Amino acid sequence: MSAIWAEGLTKHFDEVRAVDGIDLDIAAGTIFGFLGQNGSGKTTTIRMLTTLLRPTAGRARVDGFDILDDARAVRNRIGVALQEAGLDDIQTGRELLTLQARLFGLRGGARRRRIEELLAIVDLEDAADRAVGTYSGGMKRRLDLAAALVHRPGVIFLDEPTTGLDPVSREGIWRYVNRLSVEDGITIFLTTQYLEEADRLAHDLAIIDEGRIIARGSPAEMKASIGTDVVTVEVEAPEALDHAAEVATAVPAVERVQIADGAAVVYVPDGARAVARIVIALDDAGIEVGNVSISRPSLDDVFLEATGHHLRVEEPAPVDGGAA
Amino acid sequence: MHSLSTIYFLTVRSLREAVRNPAQEVGNIFVPLFFFAVTVGSIGSIAADAFGIDNFTGFQVPVAILSAASSISASAGLGTITDIQRGYFDKLLLTPAPRSAIVLGRITADGVRSIIITGVIVIVGLIFRTGFDTGVLGVVLLLAGSFFFGMAYSGFNAAVALRTGSPQAAAAGGLLLFPLIFLSTAFAPKEVFADWLQLLATINPITYILEAQRSLIIEGWNWLDLLRGAAAIFGFGIASFTLTFLALRWRTS
Ligand SMILES: Nc1ncnc2c1ncn2[C@@H]1O[C@H](COP(=O)(O)OP(=O)(O)O)[C@@H](O)[C@H]1O
Ligand SMILES: [Mg+2]
C-alpha cells in the first residue's frame, strides 16, 4: 500500500498557483525527497497533506486515510516538523514533549519512558530541563524532530529540516533521518532545496517547480536519464555565448547545448574525449574560451534540463546551529 | 473525555506560562488597584455623600475586578498570537486533540487567573474596610462570576487573535472593556446620569455584572441582581465563544 497518495492536489492563493495539480504515490518505508527552490510549493504541499490547509482541488490519502474525510485519523498517524521549528520558548524541552505526548494520548510510565528514549535519540538529555528559549537553532530542530516522533508515527513529514543549519548540525539531522528509515521503517517525506541532501538521503525523488512536478525517480535514475556527460564551457565575452552554443551544437556527438548562468552547458557522451573537439571548434570560430569543466550529470543538471535554469538556493538568515 | 483532558493540559500549560512571567501578573493587578485607590481617595467621600452611597469603597471593588480580569484576558490574545507566529499553534493543531479544546485551554486558564486576581482584590478591599455582606458564600459566588467573566472576555480576545494574527489588533481588542466600563454605572449610580448615558448604561451588560457584584459586597442577597448579572455574563460568553469558534474555523480552513 502506498503511504502517501495524491491526485491532482492543488492550492491556489487568489492568483498564486502555489501547488498546481500534483500526483504522488509514495511506497511505505521509503525516504521521499521533494526538491525545489524557494517558493516552488513544497511547504504548501506538506500543509495540505498534514491537514493544516484545505486543498483547492484534488484528493490525497496518508496511510490509507483521506486528508479531508478522516483528518483526525491522519493526524494520529503522522509526525510533522515544519520549516520553522514550531516551539514554545517558555516551556522546557521535557515539558514540551510531555504536552505533545499527552495530546497524542500517551499516559503514565509509557509516556515517561518514551520521552527519555527520545531525548537520548536526539542528544538533548542534558538540556531537557532548560527553557526552549535558551536552545541553539540546531537543538531546536532536534527537539522539534523528537516532538514529531512521540507517538511513533508511521509517516513523518520534514519540511526543510536542515535549511540554515551549519554543516555539523546538518550531518547530525541526516544521521537521525537515516536511522528512522533503516531501524524503524518509517516513511519519510522530506523537502529540501539542497541537491546534496536529496542525493544523499532520498530513495525516491520528485522535483517541484512553480507548483508542478517536473521530474521524478530515484536520484540515480534521474541522473542516468540525462544519458551523457556534462561539459560546462565559460566564454570570455558574454555576448559571444549564443554563438558559442551554436558552434558547440555542431560538434559531432554533442546531443544538446543549453545556456545557463553565463555558460554553455554541453551534453555529450564521453565528455573527456569530446572536450578537446569542443574547445578547438570554439577557438576556430574565434571565441575565447574561459573555464571548462567536465562532470557526470548531477541533480542540478536534471533540474536545469527540466526548467532551463539552475536550482537557486536561498539561505535564510543563518540560524545559530550549535553542535549536533 | 478527550476534549476535557485537552482543555486541562493546555490550561496547565498557560498557567505555567503566567507563573514564569510574574512581572506581567503584577502589572495586571497593580494597575486596577492603583485606579481603585485613586478613585476612592480622590472622590470617595464626596461621591458617598452626593450619590448617597455609604460604602463607596465597596462600590468600587467590582470596577477593579472587571478591569483586572480584562487585562488578564488581553494577555491570552497575545499568547495565542505568539503561538501562531512561532508555529507552535500549528504543532498543536497537528495533534489529534479537538481543535476547539486547544483554544479553550488558554481561555480556561484566563478564567482561573481571574479567580486569583479577584481574590487578591477582595482581600485588599477587606483591608480597606469594604466588608462583605453576603459572607463566604457570597465570596465564592463572586469568584465563580469572575471565572466565567474572565473566560468570556478571553474568548473575545482569542477570536481577535485567531482572526487577525496581529499583536496590535489583539492589544486593541483588550481595550474594548474600558469604554464599556465608562458607559456603565462604574463610578456613579444611574440615577445621576444624563438621559443619553442612562440609556447606554441600561443596555450595557457591564452595568448588570457590576451591580450583581456590588450587591454581593455591599447590599446582601439580591436574587434579581444576581440573576441579571449571571444572564449578562452568559450572554457575553455566548457571543464571544461564537466569535472564537468562527475565527478558529476561518483559520483552519
Ligand atoms: N498563505 C499564503 N497566502 C498567499 N500566498 C502563499 C501563501 N503560502 C504560500 N504562498 C505562495 O505560494 C507559493 C509557494 O509557497 P511555499 O509552498 O511556501 O513554497 P516553498 O515551501 O517551496 O518555499 C509562493 O509563491 C508563496 O508566496
Ligand atoms: Mg517552504
Last residue of a domain, one of A153, A188, A218: A218
Considering only CA atoms, which residue is closest to atom 8 of ligand 1?
A: A44
Q: Are A157 and A81 in contact (CB under 8 A)?
A: yes
Each residue's pLDDT tens digit, A31-43: 999 999 999 999 9
> In the structure grid, which three cell numbers stand for residue A170, read together?
546538518
Taking CB atoms and an 8 Å limit, are B9 and A99 in contact across chains? yes
Residue B127: count of CB within 10 angstroms of its CB? 8
pLDDT at A316: 67
pTM passes above 0.90: no
Shortest CA gap B225–chain A (Å):
42
The answer as to whether A320 is a domain residue is no
DSSP one-letter string for B164-206: H--HHHHHHHHTTHHHHHHTTTSSS-GGGS-HHHHHHHHH-HH
- d(CA A51, CA A264) in angstroms, rounded, equals 44
Neighboring chain B residues of A72 at a CB cutoff of 8 Å: 96
Mutate to test the interface with B, among A56, A99, A111, A319 (most CBs of B within 10 A): A99
The answer as to whether A244 is a domain residue is yes
- d(CA A294, CA A25) in angstroms, rounded, equals 35
pLDDT at A323: 41
pLDDT at A318: 53
Average pLDDT, chain A: 89
Which phi and psi angles does A35 have, rounded to 5°?
A: -105, 130
The answer as to whether A271 is a domain residue is yes
Mutate to test the interface with A, among B10, B91, B248, B253 (most CBs of A within 10 A): B91
- d(CA A171, CA A188) in angstroms, rounded, equals 17
Q: Are A67 and A239 in contact (CB under 8 A)?
A: no
Structural domain harbouring A18? 2-218
pLDDT at A193: 92
Same domain? For A52 and A134 the reply is yes
- State the pLDDT confidence band at A321, using cuts at 50, 70 and 90: very low
Same domain? For A37 and A184 the reply is yes
> Domain residues of chain B, as ranges?
2-251
Which residues sit with their C-beta closer than 6 Å to ligand 1?
Answer: A 13, 16, 18, 36, 38-44
pLDDT at A317: 60
- d(CA A168, CA A111) in angstroms, rounded, equals 31
Q: What is the mean pLDDT of residues A81-102?
A: 91
pLDDT at A324: 38
Taking CB atoms and an 8 Å limit, are A91 and B253 in contact across chains? no
Considering only CA atoms, which residue is closest to atom 3 of ligand 1?
A: A13
- d(CA A176, CA A136) in angstroms, rounded, equals 18
Q: Which of B25, B27, B6 is nearest to B17 (CA)?
A: B25
Q: Are B175 and B193 in contact (CB under 8 A)?
A: no
Taking CB atoms and an 8 Å limit, are B93 and A76 in contact across chains? no
Q: What is the mean pLDDT of residues B17-37?
A: 86
Same domain? For A149 and A255 the reply is no
- State the pLDDT confidence band at B195, using cuts at 50, 70 and 90: confident
- Picking from A52, A54, A102, the nearest residue to B9 by CB comes out as A102
Taking CB atoms and an 8 Å limit, are B87 and A99 in contact across chains? no
From the CA of A54, the nearest ligand is 1
Same domain? For A26 and A126 the reply is yes
Q: Which among A43, A44, A315 is the best mutation to test ligand 1's pocket, defined by most ligand atoms within 8 Å of the CB?
A: A44
Shortest CA gap A214–chain B (Å):
28
Q: Which of B105, B95, B71 is nearest to A73 (CA)?
A: B95
pLDDT at A322: 42
The arrangement of strands across the sheet holding A65-66 comes to A16-27, A2-13, A57-62, A65-66
Residue B244: count of CB within 10 angstroms of its CB? 25
Residue scoring higher pLDDT (B24 or A43):
A43
Residue B95: count of CB within 10 angstroms of its CB? 24
Q: Which of B117, B129, B14, B127 is nearest to B71 (CA)?
A: B117
Average pLDDT, chain B: 89
> In the structure grid, which three cell numbers stand for residue B35, read together?
485606579
* CATH for A255: 3.30.70.100
> In the structure grid, which three cell numbers stand for residue A32, read together?
521521499
Taking CB atoms and an 8 Å limit, are A147 and B86 in contact across chains? no
Same domain? For A142 and A254 the reply is no
Same domain? For A138 and A286 the reply is no
- d(CA A4, CA A187) in angstroms, rounded, equals 9
Q: Are A35 and A299 in contact (CB under 8 A)?
A: yes
Query: What is the helix (H) or strand (E) element at residue A319, kind and residue range?
Result: none
Looking at A151-160, A253-262, B105-114, B145-154, which range is the least confident one? A253-262
The answer as to whether A248 is a domain residue is yes
Same domain? For A6 and A70 the reply is yes
Strands A187-192 and A155-159: parallel
Q: Residue B96: which residues within 8 A CB-CB, separation 6 or more?
A: A72, A75, A76, A103, A104, A105
Return the half-sphere exposure (C-beta side, CA atoms, 13 A cut-off) of residue A273: 7
pLDDT at B91: 93
Same domain? For A156 and A30 the reply is yes
Same domain? For A92 and A201 the reply is yes
Same domain? For A164 and A260 the reply is no
What is the tally of structural domains in chain A? 2
Q: How many A from CA of A20 to the centre of ligand 2?
A: 16
The answer as to whether A214 is a domain residue is yes
From the CA of A159, the nearest ligand is 2
Shortest CA gap B90–chain A (Å):
7
Same domain? For A198 and A242 the reply is no
The answer as to whether A310 is a domain residue is no
* CATH for A20: 3.40.50.300
Last residue of a domain, one of A169, A194, A218: A218
Neighboring chain A residues of B13 at a CB cutoff of 8 Å: 88, 91, 95, 99
Each residue's pLDDT tens digit, B197-237: 888 899 999 999 999 999 999 889 999 999 999 999 999 99
Same domain? For A177 and A84 the reply is yes
The answer as to whether A131 is a domain residue is yes
Residues above pLDDT 90, as percent of chain B: 51
